[in-house]
Structure 1
Amino acid sequence: MITQGYDLLDLRLSEITGLSGLSFVGDDIMINGLNLSNREILSSSVLSYCTSLKYVRKAFSNPKVKALVITASMYDELSDAERQSRSFIIDEFPESTFYTLLIKLSDSHYPHYTWKTDIKNATVMDGAVVEDGVVLGENVLIGNNSVIKSGTIIGNNVTIGACSVIGGEGFQLIKDIRGMNMSIPHVGRVKIGNNVSIGDNSTISKSLFEGFTSIGDYTKIDNHVHIAHNCTVGKNSVLAANCTLFGSCELRDNVWVAPNAAVMNRVVVDNNAFIGACSFISRNVKSGARMFGVPATNIDE
């Protein structure tokens, strides 16, 4: 049973490039995952990509990024020391090539959680589906027609309403080299803490590359709430009906999000903040702030 969410691969770079007939420059290093270079990375050694020289140099500041997919022109601009600091896959379309590798690896090498889920301490209502590879704590209630996807970890004393989906695919798209929409598989997971309640028709998507979309202890989630991939919700927070968390945003502890509010991707909402109904949060929110409007502003300032 796998409960950690990082170092999901254990492959040489040559094994990865061999999946698509690619070549590489530099050492044949071990790769433990794929990820974006501008994110916090848990895995020890990752393959990433860059679409401009500016971002290549930023990627060099992330010690977890050991290999990059870049164009030949970007590689030619690097100093000898920069070339020696990483391994490189040289390709005309770095983004498309990177995500094509992720698609291939998601099928063949990323973990698939196949153990038989133990539901003896859970109440699973009619029509609900708990897939193999789920970890359930004590006293878990799963409502009618809800689906708990493989890889999800659920703590003790958790209630999930009807018709909710926990651990499903997130929504990540890129344009392929023809300009067509390309859906990207997610290889991460969802972790729900203790004493959490989740209402009806709510969705929590699994993380994209590694780690977890996570919900902290004692958090209460209403009906029709969407929490996108890689979000983090702290302890004792409240998400009211129809609110939306965009991908990779963070709510810290004791945050209250009122109905129909939305939090933009990668925004951090600090402890004890209040987000008013129908508000749109487009920038970080400081501790204790009361935010209202579109875009939201702090009504106490």
Structure 2
Amino acid sequence: MSQRELLMSPILLSEIAELFHWEFCGSDKEILKFGNLNSPTEYAEKQITYINSIKLLERYKSTTIGACVVHNSLKNSLPNDRSFLLVDLEPEVAFYEIFNFCLQKNKFAKIESNMGENCIIADNATIHDSVIIGDNCIIMDNVVLMPNTILGNNVVVKPNSVIGSDGFQVKIIDGKRKVVPHVGGVLISDNVEIGASVCIDKGLFGEFTKINKNTKIDNHVHLAHSVSIGEDCIITAGTIIAGYTVVGDSVWIAPNSTINQVLSIGSNSFICSGTVVTASISNNVQILGAPGRVIGWVCKCRSKLIFENGHARCNSCNIDYKLENKEVLVVS
């Protein structure tokens, strides 16, 4: 389970500039992956991204991302110590033209298939190439495991679930609005259970959508591309988690909740039924409503915490907490 992200075969920034008849400035760079400014990666210096405003240029400069597609109009604002592709069309459109070219050239990596021991797989399940399944897994009727899906040991996937399909990223490619093919994967750790009719999309740009160990997912849940779910979480029926959101450990998400994209959900939090989460929340928060609002704090065991003078003790497990700047901390 050491796989972290999938890289493409390298292409130089100068090669891209020559292929598309664009100008590049700065040092030449070897590109191994695509990504936006939010993409989680350990290879930022080998990544190419795009920006379309001075505001985003300032944000880009605060990252270590290796190369960036920008419009010609920003040329005089670019720092000398970074690498850029200068284009005369919308940078986003240019970015996806490069991405589409690399797709057509089969530059994106796929994992090698492997099947563990003592697995039970339904005859009508569909297991594509480039899938790894660990030991003692149970794959039930009509499950579909798409390429670049990795299952750890003791994973259960119930009927009609689809793991590793493309997410919903719609962009202009070759002059037409298209759903962008995804080149990442799904990484499901040990002892995860996935209910019936669940859809877990693969990562967009080479990253994995991740479900960490001991998490249990109910029926009819949708996890969008590049989401990360922590350990020991409970995700109940009807939950939708949008792209690039990170959920901490031991989070309980009650039925029919929706969590917007690119958010952080603190560990040990409790999201009440029907909540629409529109902003990141810290650890041990209880949140309710649409849009969600903080209504209190909870222990890891789900018992409600009552703070007096900034301190609380869980009546169920006797853990002591303190509240500092609206952050719940365990008292050691």
**TM-score, normalized by length of structure 1?**
0.91
Q: 227, 233, 238: which one pairs with 1:237?
A: 233
Contact 2:50 2:95 (C-alpha < 8 Å) held by counterparts = yes
Deviation of 1:257 (Å): 0.5
Q: Tell me, which stretches of 5 or more residues in structure 1 are unaligned? A: none
SS of the residue aligned with 1:144?
A: coil
Residues 148-193 of structure 1 deviation map (CA, whole Å, 9 limit, x = unaligned): 1111111000000011111110100124686x52221111111001
Residues 41-80 of structure 1 deviation map (CA, whole Å, 9 limit, x = unaligned): 32241111111122112211111x22211111111333xx
Distance 1:18 1:201, change over 3 A: farther
Which 10-residue stretch deviates more, 247-256 or 101-110?
101-110
Distance in 2 between residues matched to 1:296 and 1:150, nearest whole Å: 36
Distance in 2 between residues matched to 1:96 and 1:85, nearest whole Å: 21
Which 10-residue stretch deviates more, 195-204 or 23-32?
23-32
- Aligned residue for 2:28? 28
Q: Does 1:103 align with 2:100?
A: yes
Distance 1:202 1:134, change over 3 A: same
- Aligned residue for 1:156? 153
Q: Does 1:186 align with 2:182?
A: yes
- Aligned residue for 1:48? 49
How large is the Cα RMSD of the aligned pairs? 2.2
Distance in 1 between residues matched to 2:128 and 2:107, nearest whole Å: 18
Deviation of 1:118 (Å): 2.4
Q: Tell me, which stretches of 5 or more residues in structure 2 are unaligned? A: 298-332
SS of the residue aligned with 2:96?
A: helix
How many equivalent residue pairs?
Answer: 296
Alignment map for 1:174-213 (pairs within 5 Å): 174-175=171-172, 180-213=176-209
**AA partner of residue 54 (structure 1):** K
Alignment map for 1:65-214 (pairs within 5 Å): 65-78=65-78, 82-113=79-110, 115-118=112-115, 120-175=117-172, 180-214=176-210
Deviation of 1:6 (Å): 4.4
Q: Greater share of strand residues, 1 or 2? A: 2
Which 10-residue stretch deviates more, 268-277 or 12-21?
12-21
Contact 1:117 1:132 (C-alpha < 8 Å) held by counterparts = no
Distance in 2 between residues matched to 1:264 and 1:165, nearest whole Å: 21
Deviation of 1:39 (Å): 3.8
Distance in 1 between residues matched to 2:296 and 2:80, nearest whole Å: 51
Contact 2:137 2:156 (C-alpha < 8 Å) held by counterparts = yes
Deviation of 1:196 (Å): 0.5
Contact 1:155 1:195 (C-alpha < 8 Å) held by counterparts = yes
Deviation of 1:88 (Å): 2.4
Distance 1:151 1:171, change over 3 A: same
**AA partner of residue 267 (structure 2):** N
**TM-score, normalized by length of structure 2?**
0.83
Distance 1:57 1:9, change over 3 A: farther
Distance 1:144 1:18, change over 3 A: farther
Deviation of 1:21 (Å): 4.3
Residues 71-122 of structure 1 deviation map (CA, whole Å, 9 limit, x = unaligned): 11111333xxx13422323232110110121122123243343744426532
Identity of aligned residues (%): 30
Distance 1:6 1:128, change over 3 A: closer
Q: 288, 294, 298: which one pairs with 2:294?
A: 298
Contact 1:167 1:204 (C-alpha < 8 Å) held by counterparts = yes
